[in-house]
Structure 1
Amino acid sequence: MKQQILVIGAGFGGVWSALSAARQLDLNDRQDVQISVLAPQAELHIRPRFYEADVHEMKAELHALFDSTGVKFVQGTADRIDPVGKTVEYVEAGGTRQSLAYDRLVLATGSHVLRPNLEGVAEHAFDVDTLQAAARLEAHLHALAGQPDSIARNTVVVCGGGFTGIETATEMPHRLRAVLGEEANVRVIVVERGAKIGAAFGEGISPSIAQASEAMSIEWCLGATVAAVDAGGVTLDDGRRIESHTVIWTVGFRASPLTAQIPGERDPLGRLYVDHNLKVVGQPDIYAAGDTAYAATDDLGHFAAMSCQHAISLGRHAGNNVAAELIGAPTRPYSQPKYVTCLDLGEWGAVYTEGWDRQVKLIKDEAKALKRQINSVWIYPPAADRTSALAAADPSIPVA
């Protein structure tokens, strides 16, 4: 009977874990281990692009890729992990409960936006956290054209001025005018609790965010938080009212709740502490990759962010190491010292930085060209060709 490596999740961390494990087995000519991926769909949803239009196109089919690399796909949603019995229970699309046994497990179930328990947020706010949620927002934007012209119809409020909030807000003027017409008096407002535009990004990158915002007439409500959301807009904590039919929540992310089913230490975002091989600390048979892993990227105190930049490399290392450890081959400690930021700023362009201190290297059109390359090519999975797909899963390949 074959030994079983089970990967839960088909996001960036999950896909690259499976491919890298297959590569390690191939290098050692091992046919006695089965790699399985458990996920709701055999699709990689390109989450970093969900702020864009035509979101239904932001996915990559995985059946052919898995078939070409000997990875078995199991369709279902995992909801219970038993680390002692080494089983995972899941629910099939039709509602039937099933279970899978594993010898080694890779948890790569990602993260989700954390909606607060504020009045009206659950009922009235949109988000771009999942393909379905982003598609719901897109359908809503198209439906605005059928509403009477009004301030509320023409106004979008983005709650949160972080990475997702900025990319969503700066893309919105173009998206709104594509629906309402070039002459429409559109208004985009970012509600941000910080005292300065892009303060979390540092002094190097924040001027570009401010310039882009000014060029596209994007307004910022700084030092403010949302107190309530309703069908007609938002009320801020200082009592101010903004009329809007489109409120988008982008604040706060937390690791998959499945992390709570694995005994171990977690960071404030719910990510599991892992060792240098990405094995969950205290768990002999479980690894974590992507947004479920609290992993040191270097020896200087930096830890992986919840981003595809880190998830791809984490997946390559977790998959390599889970297979290597199972068959007795050398592992490769995770290391990703280079960190970059490429922030899309709508029609103004983009800004690209290098280093954890975010030193600006490219802005406007040059950075925008790089961002398009990243979003349309670099973050997509490889073609369904066994040789090239396994070669692409080498953990030594730098992601940034």
Structure 2
Amino acid sequence: MKQHILVIGAGFGGLWSALSAARLLDIHDRHDVDISLLAPQAELRIRPRFYEPDVHAMFAPLDALLDSVSVRFIKGTAERIDEQARIVGYRDEAGQPHELGYDRLVLATGSQLARPPVPGLEDHAFDVDQIESAVRLENHLKSLKDLPASDARNTVVIAGGGFTGIETATEMPARLRAALGDDQHIRVIIVDRGPKIAAALGDGIRPPIVEASEHLGIEWELNTSVSAVDADGVTLSDGRRIESRTLIWTVGFRASPLTEQLTSVRDGQGRLHVDQNLKIFGQDNIFAAGDVAYAATDDLGNFAAMSCQHAISLGRHAGNNVAADLLGVPPTAYRQPKYVTCLDLGAWGAVFTEGWDRQIKLLKHEAKELKSQINSIWIYPPAADRSTALAAADPMIPVA
């Protein structure tokens, strides 16, 4: 009877886990192990691009690629993990329950936007967390032209001044002008509880963010947060109100709730602590990749961020090591000492940094060209050719 590797999730971590496991099985000429990928869609959704327009096209089909490397795709949503029985319960697209057994499991179900109990948030806020919600925002922006001109119509508020908030905000002037026309007075406001612009990103990268904000007319409301939202405006925690028909929530991400079903240690964002081979502490047969893994990138105290930069490498290592564990061959310890940041800053350009202290290496047009390559080429899956796809899944390929 064949053994079974099950990967849950078709994001960056899950896809590259499946490809890397297939690679190691191919190297050892093993045909007695099946690999399955369980996910709601056979597509890699290019989440880092959801702040851009035309978001409905921000995905890459995976059927042909998975077929080329003999990975079986199972369409469904995982709901339950029984670590003792080695069973995953899921529902298919019709809502019918099913079960899958496994010998080894890779959990790569990603993260989701945190939604605190802010009054009006569920009914009136937008986000760019998933394709569906980003498309809803895009349709809303296009529909603004049908409303009478007003401060509320022409003002977009972004809650949160982290990576997602900044990239969403700096893209917004162009998107608003495309929807409303160049003659309209528009406002884009970032609301952030930090004491400085981009406080969470550090002093190294702050100057170009400040310059880009000034160039694009982005306003920052600091030392405050959104306390309530309604159809016509946003109330801040200091009592002030901003008239706006558009609030975009970008504050806080948490690992998939499936992590809570495992008897393992999690960090403050719900990520599972893993060893250097990405096996979850306290588990004999389960590995983690992508946003659900709290993994050390080096020996200096740095840990993988919730980003595709880390998810791709985590996936390559998790897939290699879950197959190695099953085959009884040496694993490859996860290490990713080089950390880079490439932050899109709209029409101003971009900024590219290296190191956890974010030392600036490229600015404006040069950084924008690099960002374009990353977003349109580098983070997309390989061609649906067996040798090409397996070669691309080598865990020793640097990702930076």
Give the alignment's TM-score, normalised by structure 2: 1.00
Determine helix, strand or coil for the equivalent of 2:144: helix
How big is the shift at 1:330?
A: 1.3
Deviations 1:31-84 (A, max 9, x none): 000000000000100000000000011000000000000000000000000000
Question: 1:212 — aligned with what?
Answer: 212
How big is the shift at 1:337?
A: 0.3
How big is the shift at 1:184?
A: 1.4
Question: Which residue type is aligned with residue 347 of structure 2?
Answer: E
Deviations 1:344-369 (A, max 9, x none): 00000000000011000001000000
How big is the shift at 1:94?
A: 0.5
Are 1:235 and 2:235 an aligned pair?
yes
Question: 2:94 — aligned with what?
Answer: 94
Q: CA RMSD in A?
A: 0.5
Determine helix, strand or coil for the equivalent of 1:153: coil
Deviations 1:217-262 (A, max 9, x none): 1100011111100001100011100000000000000000000001
Identity %: 69
Question: 2:302 — aligned with what?
Answer: 302
Deviations 1:328-387 (A, max 9, x none): 111100000000000000000000000011000001000000000000000000010000
Question: Which residue type is aligned with residue 17 of structure 1?
Answer: S
Question: 1:318 — aligned with what?
Answer: 318
Question: 1:39 — aligned with what?
Answer: 39
Question: 2:256 — aligned with what?
Answer: 256
Determine helix, strand or coil for the equivalent of 2:152: helix
Question: Which residue type is aligned with residue 327 of structure 1?
Answer: L
Question: 1:77 — aligned with what?
Answer: 77
Mapped partners of 1:379, 1:183: distance in 2: 37
Mapped partners of 2:183, 2:4: distance in 1: 59
Are 1:128 and 2:123 an aligned pair?
no
Mapped partners of 2:355, 2:183: distance in 1: 41
Provide structure 2 residue ranges, at least 5 long, that are not aligned to the other structure: none
More off after superposition, 192-201 vs 254-263:
192-201
Question: Which residue type is aligned with residue 305 of structure 2?
Answer: A
Provide structure 1 residue ranges, at least 5 long, that are not aligned to the other structure: none
How big is the shift at 1:201?
A: 1.6
Question: Which residue type is aligned with residue 281 of structure 2?
Answer: V
How big is the shift at 1:172?
A: 0.2
How big is the shift at 1:115?
A: 1.0
Mapped partners of 1:249, 1:120: distance in 2: 12
Question: 2:396 — aligned with what?
Answer: 396
How big is the shift at 1:199?
A: 1.4
Matches within 5 A, 1:105-184: 105-184=105-184
Mapped partners of 1:157, 1:192: distance in 2: 11
Give the alignment's TM-score, normalised by structure 1: 1.00
How big is the shift at 1:24?
A: 0.3
Deviations 1:127-172 (A, max 9, x none): 0000111011001011111111111110000000000000000000
Determine helix, strand or coil for the equivalent of 1:6: strand
Question: 2:345 — aligned with what?
Answer: 345
Determine helix, strand or coil for the equivalent of 1:41: coil
Mapped partners of 2:318, 2:154: distance in 1: 46
Mapped partners of 1:41, 1:97: distance in 2: 17
Question: 1:16 — aligned with what?
Answer: 16
Determine helix, strand or coil for the equivalent of 1:106: strand
Question: Which residue type is aligned with residue 387 of structure 2?
Answer: T
How big is the shift at 1:186?
A: 1.1
Q: How many residues align?
A: 400
How big is the shift at 1:204?
A: 1.6
Question: Which residue type is aligned with residue 340 of structure 1?
Answer: V
Question: Which residue type is aligned with residue 371 of structure 1?
Answer: K
Determine helix, strand or coil for the equivalent of 1:99: strand
Deviations 1:83-104 (A, max 9, x none): 0000000000001100100000
Determine helix, strand or coil for the equivalent of 1:151: coil
Mapped partners of 1:273, 1:154: distance in 2: 45
Mapped partners of 1:184, 1:20: distance in 2: 51
Mapped partners of 1:365, 1:231: distance in 2: 38
How big is the shift at 1:318?
A: 0.1
Mapped partners of 1:336, 1:137: distance in 2: 35
Determine helix, strand or coil for the equivalent of 1:395: coil
How big is the shift at 1:202?
A: 1.6
Mapped partners of 2:142, 2:63: distance in 1: 32
Question: Which residue type is aligned with residue 273 of structure 1?
Answer: H
Question: Which residue type is aligned with residue 275 of structure 1?
Answer: D
Deviations 1:268-312 (A, max 9, x none): 000000000000001000000000000000000000000000000
Determine helix, strand or coil for the equivalent of 2:153: helix
Question: 1:334 — aligned with what?
Answer: 334
Question: 2:387 — aligned with what?
Answer: 387
Mapped partners of 1:344, 1:183: distance in 2: 25
Question: Which residue type is aligned with residue 252 of structure 1?
Answer: G
Question: Which residue type is aligned with residue 9 of structure 1?
Answer: G
Question: 1:27 — aligned with what?
Answer: 27
Question: 2:56 — aligned with what?
Answer: 56
Mapped partners of 1:315, 1:300: distance in 2: 22
How big is the shift at 1:203?
A: 1.5
Mapped partners of 2:14, 2:140: distance in 1: 31
Mapped partners of 1:320, 1:238: distance in 2: 51
Mapped partners of 1:122, 1:238: distance in 2: 21
Mapped partners of 2:183, 2:227: distance in 1: 32
Mapped partners of 2:164, 2:147: distance in 1: 27
Mapped partners of 1:104, 1:204: distance in 2: 42
Determine helix, strand or coil for the equivalent of 1:193: coil
